[in-house]
Structure 1
Amino acid sequence: MRARVLCEVLLLLALLVLLPVTSIASVRSPGGAGTELIRDDFPLDFIFGSGTSAYQVEGAAAEDGRTPSVWDTGAHAGKVANGSTADITCDGYHKYKDDIKLMKELGLKGYRFSISWSRLIPKGRGDVNPKGLQFYNDFINELIGNGIQPHVTLFHYDLPQALEDEYQGWLSPKIVDDFTAYADVCFKEFGDRVSYWTTLNEPNFLALAGYDTGIFPPFRCSSRFGRNCSIGDSTLEPYIVGYHCILAHAEVATLYRRKYQVIQKGFIGLNVFVYHFTSLTNSTRDVAAAQRAYDFYTGWFVNPLVNGDYPSTMKERTGNKMPSFSVYQSEYIKGSFDFLGVNHYATVWVSDVSSDNSSTYERDFGFDMSVKLTVFGMQGMLEHFKNVYGNPPIYIHENGYSTPQNSSLEDTPRVEYLKMNIGSLLDAVRNGSNARGYFTWSFLDVFELNDGYQSSFGLYHVDFEDKELTRRPKLSARWYSHFLKGGHNNIVSVSVSNNSNPSEALA
């Protein structure tokens, strides 16, 4: 497909990756993905887990002092996810003990989750909500008591609506101080038990989806570029948001290192949504196009953390539209991470279709590229980080496969997808990648940000039509459990019963 604006195309591709599909058409990734997989092939300290996020799993949207986030507001206005809301979703707020029991039975060693800023600090700043504090303390204690390592994300899209109303959230430099104060509360209250902290989830996608195409809250965009936005500037605002995200991350990382890390002995990092971009051909133009895609989509956030500044390609193409870092800021942000979290779902093949009039477009990249999608590429993505960014420690925070909600529990395509990607991950580790963990998306079927309850990524099916929200394991849950417990997983033919007792089904 021809892409006039790659950011729009990549958002579309993200939606395609995250929407229901029914098969993987016998595609295999290289090396280990087509062979037998054994947990013991990975280093002993390599962490395997799964994850969800607060807004998507907790429910209890108006209970115990929680106030709305921008996602609550958008959902209730009918602007997202086909008009559905996450007011109840999986009711993880009340069912967390049963869910953690399932995690233990599954064999998870780690669980990635986020904290709802507006549940912990309802006004976005100021007083801490004691019931929110108690919930997260209880949740973390329950995880640890069941031998599961908590990996906490501080911000997963759900900005308190109060801060959006007051000063337009991530568009304002005020967000840096408020986010840092919120993080300080989390480190102080939970850091004695949490060793892995991620500041922001997918700030690259936040900037593009929220401020370029306007498909996510706060729904800002230029009308000629986005979807039904009433306000915004797609050519400027994504860069402003990205700038504030980077500064906020660095401020929080500095706080953690200065005040908590020596005592708590934990680690802090940033998460990015990452495709593996590869050139469709070996031509010089296609190779350059693939590099531009990496620079604008990944390097935008990773390059400042590694090298102290944006990629040169971005700076040349954006000119004065992109806020620049001062010499002090450049040194401040450089090295402000102990690890990088990566959400990876697919490979994008890129070809150059530029012409002499490319400079007439208002966008800075994408109009000169054509792209197509495949579902494997884990090793290639990790090789990019190894070769370009000095092989930093990486945790695969999200990797998963979408099927229609209420489709068969025999989710063979998801099993094939997991086999391919874990096998490709193994190839990368054997080739020297500093990858240290892998988390599936998602542990349960949850409210999906793109289409609510029409699709699912979960290892466990959740019956949203049942008032009990019954959890049932899918074939992928049994496959993953078998792998995590040391089994040989060169076959897919494991059966899953429709028994409502998950413990019995995983026995």
Structure 2
Amino acid sequence: MGRRPLLLFLSPWLLLLLLLVHGVSSLQFTRDDFPDGFVFGAGTAAYQYEGAAAEDGRRPSIWDTYTHSGRHPEDGTGDVASDGYHKYKEDVKLMGQIGLEAYRFTISWSRLIPTGRGAVNPKGLQFYNSMINELVKAGIQIHVVLYHMDLPQSLQDEYGGWISPKFVEDFAAYAGACFREFGDRVAHWTTVLEPNAMAQACYDVGILPPNRCSYPSGSSNCTPGDSTVEPYLFMHHALLAHASAVKLYREKYQVAQKGIIGINIYSMWFYPFTNSAEDIGATERTKQFIYGWILNPLVFGDYPEAMKKAAGSRLPFFSSYESELVKNAFDFIGLNHYTSVYTSNNDNTVKAPLQDLTADIATLFRDTKNDTPSPEFVPGTLVDPLGLEHALEYIRENYGNLPIYIQENAPAYIVSGVNFKVKKYDFYLTFGPEFLLALHQKPLWRYVELLEKTGKDQGGNARFRCRFSNQVIHGSYSRVKAHLLKIGTIGVATCKKVTVDILGQLEDEMAKAEAISARNLPNNIPLPTESIPFNVATMWDVGGDSYDLFDGGADFPRHAELSLDEPNIERVLKDLRAFDI
């Protein structure tokens, strides 16, 4: 068989992964296991990839300030990073050689518009235009993220950055410059990466730029902030900035450029630690803070009731105009999903000297049932292939059949030290079969529209409108199926608009789903512990039998020039080309 693409896209789901494969003859997956439209891809972040921090007019960002503050000596700087600013052409060539179909990168606001507003930097514009043109020539689909933790420091100094309402207008103007300059070649836009994670990490516990928190919350090395309100202000303005960018794109650019725009969510799955009502309630409350914080405003125009109850007056509110602005302000929702945790109710938060985001969630987290509980929802190390499926089902049941792009997905590993080896068997993990089943098992969701969620905390019932007859169905997927397939179920009226031909089509879809469910899928699919790290060259172990990954900070040098070990690189490429999907 010939060489096939190694990156996946799917509508309504997108899997954006780099699969590094060794010993591929043991795999049973073929291209037929994946729906048409899947694309395999990889991604980088500007600060961790570009380097050239002070070249050609780029000005400092809050990430530069954070890494140069001296408070976090264990973290490298992005001064050199992977030197992608100078070596992007050879990186694009490598992407083509290993068969990537898509590449997601972030734009450095500080490089394109160094002071945060005003004129575009010609050198920054030249760099991104050149890189985009190289990707176009290579036939690689381009995905652009507008923001990933690198706000121009000048805006942080001027008015506090994200926690000020002034930020919304500046972000929309920056987004507009990107649409104007790059939109003729970029058709996939993500406004903000993982804002729900940034709210806690950047403004509650202060472990990421701009490193803000207040006593007794968070890190002892943080800069003075207010953990009681700043996480909520950050997210509120993030949603308004996102929606403003979407409005601008739809009104001025989308028709001509024919692209799509969305936002990204940091996704985890949460299991109750026990079957007690308290732990089940805490689990549902956590899901509303993680998913509902973003999805509830985007789908319904307001924050979840659980958040209003927990945060009270500290949670900003949407005006009627803002509510309409954010509602439906997306063409897709991106998910970054890595792990799952066990959750239990935390009664001690009512005794806390101040109520911050962590206290409002009022939940303790464990990677396993034997772990010491933690109040912070930081990435864990539990490898849980079913977690992604549960997350997709939760979103569907609570917010409807949204177009979801899975932009990052892999097992979570927390690694200390500079250099570690990952043997080839570590890649053979159990994400594949469960994910494929989640794609196929419930195909009838696309024929109904979610009206409202009506179930209790742990329930999944909702009101749906049939897209054929406009009839309202109250229940879960089983009732949707009974309605559309004309199955006689008490309390469910069958769809009178489903003709014999339509019924045959629906039954064919269900039969395919059942066949896939019954199939003896393999237990393993190779997935990487990281996507394309700071440069593709670092993915290979020169002269060895395993892949080399690095956790040495953004300044860690390139592993080796490819010319130093061409035979080993060619061996790896041969394995990749042999992976028949």
Query: How would you bin the TM-score normalised by the shorter chain?
Result: 0.7 to 0.9
With normalisation by structure 2, the TM-score equals 0.70
Structure 2 vs 1, CA of residues 368 and 442 (structure 1 numbering), >3 Å: closer, same or farther?
Answer: closer
Match of 2:239 in 1: 246
* CA offset digits 1:269-298 (Å, max 9, x no partner): 001111112223444332211110111122
Aligned pairs (5 A) from 1:101-500: 101-228=93-220, 229-354=222-347, 362-363=355-356, 364-372=359-367, 374-376=382-384, 377-400=387-410, 401-402=412-413, 405-408=418-421, 410-413=423-426, 415-416=427-428, 419-432=429-442, 442-446=530-534, 461=549, 469-470=559-560
1:89 corresponds, among 81, 90, 96, to: 81
- What SS does structure 2 have at the residue aligned with 1:328? helix
Look up the equivalent residue of 1:274 and give its one-letter code: S
Q: What is the CA–CA distance in structure 1 between the aligned matches of 2:115 and 2:419, rounded to whole Å?
A: 37
Q: What is the CA–CA distance in structure 1 between the aligned matches of 2:403 and 2:73, rounded to whole Å?
A: 34
* CA offset digits 1:316-365 (Å, max 9, x no partner): 11111011001121111010000011111101121235379569862443
Q: What is the CA–CA distance in structure 1 between the aligned matches of 2:284 and 2:268, rounded to whole Å?
A: 12
The alignment of Structure 1 onto Structure 2 pairs a total of residues equal to 435
* CA offset digits 1:17-63 (Å, max 9, x no partner): xxxxxxxxxxxxxxxxx984333311121222111110011111111
1:42 aligned onto 2:34: yes
Structure 2 vs 1, CA of residues 357 and 158 (structure 1 numbering), >3 Å: closer, same or farther?
Answer: closer
Q: What is the CA–CA distance in structure 2 between the aligned matches of 1:98 and 1:460, rounded to whole Å?
A: 19
Match of 1:73 in 2: 65
Determine if contact 1:163/1:169 at 8 Å carries over to the other structure: yes
Q: What is the CA–CA distance in structure 2 between the aligned matches of 1:500 and 1:331, rounded to whole Å?
A: 58
* CA offset digits 1:207-236 (Å, max 9, x no partner): 111110011111211121121234111111
Q: What is the CA–CA distance in structure 2 between the aligned matches of 1:198 and 1:353, rounded to whole Å?
A: 35
Aligned-pair RMSD on alpha carbons? Answer: 2.9
Determine if contact 1:358/1:368 at 8 Å carries over to the other structure: no
Look up the equivalent residue of 1:350 and give its one-letter code: T
Structure 2 vs 1, CA of residues 168 and 307 (structure 1 numbering), >3 Å: closer, same or farther?
Answer: same
Q: What is the CA–CA distance in structure 2 between the aligned matches of 1:466 and 1:55, rounded to whole Å?
A: 13
Which deviates the most, 77-86 or 193-202? 77-86
Structure 2: stretches of 5+ with no match in the other structure: 1-25, 368-379, 447-526, 536-545, 575-581
Q: What is the CA–CA distance in structure 2 between the aligned matches of 1:467 and 1:63, rounded to whole Å?
A: 18
With normalisation by structure 1, the TM-score equals 0.79
Q: What is the CA–CA distance in structure 2 between the aligned matches of 1:137 and 1:245, rounded to whole Å?
A: 27
Determine if contact 2:345/2:362 at 8 Å carries over to the other structure: no
Match of 2:457 in 1: none
Structure 2 vs 1, CA of residues 336 and 467 (structure 1 numbering), >3 Å: closer, same or farther?
Answer: closer
Look up the equivalent residue of 2:95 and give its one-letter code: M
Structure with greater contact order relative to length (CA < 8 Å, sep ≥ 6): 1
Q: What is the CA–CA distance in structure 2 between the aligned matches of 1:345 and 1:211, rounded to whole Å?
A: 22
Q: What is the CA–CA distance in structure 2 between the aligned matches of 1:164 and 1:412, rounded to whole Å?
A: 45
Look up the equivalent residue of 2:430 and give its one-letter code: M
Determine if contact 1:52/1:444 at 8 Å carries over to the other structure: yes
- What SS does structure 1 have at the residue aligned with 2:431? helix
- What SS does structure 2 have at the residue aligned with 1:445? coil
Look up the equivalent residue of 1:249 and give its one-letter code: H
Q: What is the CA–CA distance in structure 1 between the aligned matches of 2:363 and 2:572, rounded to whole Å?
A: 51
Q: What is the CA–CA distance in structure 2 between the aligned matches of 1:305 and 1:72, rounded to whole Å?
A: 32
Which deviates the most, 232-241 or 351-360? 351-360
Q: What is the CA–CA distance in structure 2 between the aligned matches of 1:290 and 1:429, rounded to whole Å?
A: 25
Q: What is the CA–CA distance in structure 1 between the aligned matches of 2:241 and 2:301, rounded to whole Å?
A: 15
Which deviates the most, 458-467 or 50-59? 458-467
* CA offset digits 1:131-151 (Å, max 9, x no partner): 111111111111121111011
Structure 2 vs 1, CA of residues 106 and 40 (structure 1 numbering), >3 Å: closer, same or farther?
Answer: farther
Determine if contact 1:444/1:461 at 8 Å carries over to the other structure: no
Q: What is the CA–CA distance in structure 2 between the aligned matches of 1:48 and 1:109, rounded to whole Å?
A: 6
Structure 2 vs 1, CA of residues 333 and 151 (structure 1 numbering), >3 Å: closer, same or farther?
Answer: same
Which deviates the most, 54-63 or 74-83? 74-83
Determine if contact 2:239/2:326 at 8 Å carries over to the other structure: yes
Determine if contact 1:398/1:441 at 8 Å carries over to the other structure: no
Determine if contact 2:82/2:557 at 8 Å carries over to the other structure: no
Structure 2 vs 1, CA of residues 356 and 73 (structure 1 numbering), >3 Å: closer, same or farther?
Answer: closer
Rg larger in 1 or in 2? 2
* CA offset digits 1:112-138 (Å, max 9, x no partner): 110000100111111111111111111
Give 1:461 deviation, angstroms. 4.7
- What SS does structure 2 have at the residue aligned with 1:274? strand
Q: What is the CA–CA distance in structure 1 between the aligned matches of 2:205 and 2:550, rounded to whole Å?
A: 31
State the identity %. Answer: 47
Look up the equivalent residue of 1:189 and give its one-letter code: E
Look up the equivalent residue of 1:133 and give its one-letter code: L
Q: What is the CA–CA distance in structure 1 between the aligned matches of 2:238 and 2:569, rounded to whole Å?
A: 40
Determine if contact 1:50/1:441 at 8 Å carries over to the other structure: no
Structure 2 vs 1, CA of residues 466 and 309 (structure 1 numbering), >3 Å: closer, same or farther?
Answer: closer
* CA offset digits 1:388-420 (Å, max 9, x no partner): 11121111222234456432263532x13xx42
- What SS does structure 1 have at the residue aligned with 2:389? helix
Q: What is the CA–CA distance in structure 1 between the aligned matches of 2:249 and 2:215, rounded to whole Å?
A: 40
Structure 2 vs 1, CA of residues 320 and 109 (structure 1 numbering), >3 Å: closer, same or farther?
Answer: same
1:505 aligned onto 2:497: no
1:98 corresponds, among 90, 100, 119, to: 90
Give 1:266 deviation, angstroms. 0.6
Which deviates the most, 372-381 or 139-148? 372-381
Structure 2 vs 1, CA of residues 50 and 221 (structure 1 numbering), >3 Å: closer, same or farther?
Answer: same
Structure 1: stretches of 5+ with no match in the other structure: 1-33, 448-457, 473-496
Which deviates the most, 337-346 or 403-412? 403-412
